[in-house]
Amino acid sequence: MRYIKHGTTSDLLTFLLSFIVPLFLRAKRLTYSLTSFAEAVEYHLWSFEKFGKIRYFRTKKKLLQFLIEYGNEAEKIEIYEFGVAFGETAHLLNSNLNKRAKYFGYDTFEGLPTSWRRLPAGALTTNGRVPQIANENFVFYKGLVQETFPATFIASNIPKILIFDLDLYEPTLFVWKLVLNSLNSGDILYFDEAFDKDERVILENYVLNSIRYSVLGFSVLGLVLKVE
């Protein structure tokens, strides 16, 4: 009887959990969505309070098109993307930039080295595959940016667009400290996760206090600066 009773209790518990667990998962997702929404709203308020009335890009694609137009106006341009992932931005740049532009992309292509927000370590992996772009001016460096970037970056006076899309605090700060002394007037800095609290710490404590800049605009999540 004890075995039968225990089995009956387990069946009842399993039945209840089949309803309760999905509710908890939905609540967790809803909580994250609400938190992210509040974070995005706070970022917008911060942008207006910090910079006043500035240009707003409704989508990331429109922001990238603005960067492409800026790059095409330059006689020469170098574009550095830190955090390539599946290569959506790289493909867009390749399709729209003129032939004078040179692109350098940095990523492990094995996913995030550590967890970030809701994503676990290893998320966003391409299983080691770099984007297939048949353009000799597009070069990809595979590995941790802390190792690949110092070994490949050569400072020059050529105008630069730097796209910070590494997600994680440590590698983003590492790259920023390395490029700081090589920035020239007219260089463009795009921080793709400016809404994220960790990237905002880098902006507040390192970037905005280290250079003279003008704000070219912001999107729902990102911020574009021009070095003066």
Which residue is listed with tokens 């911020």?
223
Q: Are 215 and 190 in contact (CB under 8 A)?
A: no
Q: What are phi and psi of 145, to 5 degrees?
A: -60, -30
Q: Are 226 and 183 in contact (CB under 8 A)?
A: no
Predicted pLDDT at 129: 97
Predicted pLDDT at 4: 46
Predicted pLDDT at 69: 97
pLDDT along the chain (228 residues), means of 10: 49 62 54 71 91 93 96 96 97 95 97 91 95 97 98 96 97 98 97 94 97 95 96
pLDDT digits (tens, 9 = 90+) for 138-196: 999 999 999 999 999 999 999 999 999 999 999 999 999 999 999 999 999 999 999 99
Superfamily (CATH) of domain 60-227: Vaccinia Virus protein VP39 (3.40.50.150)
Q: Are 138 and 105 in contact (CB under 8 A)?
A: yes
Q: How far is CA 94 from CA 67, 71, 114, in A?
A: 13, 12, 29
Predicted pLDDT at 220: 87
Amino acid at 150: P
Q: How far is CA 114 from CA 111, 162, 217, in A?
A: 9, 23, 30
Buried b / exposed e along 148-171 (16+ C-beta atoms within 10 A): bbeeebeeeeebbbbbbbbbbbeb
Structure tokens, 80: 């550095």
Predicted pLDDT at 3: 43
Local structure of residue 116 (DSSP, 8 states): B
**What ranges do the domains of the chain cover?**
1-51, 60-227
- Rounded Cα distance between 182 and 159, Å, is 11
Q: What is the pTM of this model?
A: 0.85
Predicted pLDDT at 27: 52
Structure tokens, 60: 């990331």
Predicted pLDDT at 6: 47
Q: What DSSP string describes 146-214? A: HHHHHHH----SS-EEEEE---SHHHHHHHHHHHGGG--TT-EEEETTTTSHHHHHHIIIIITTTS-EE
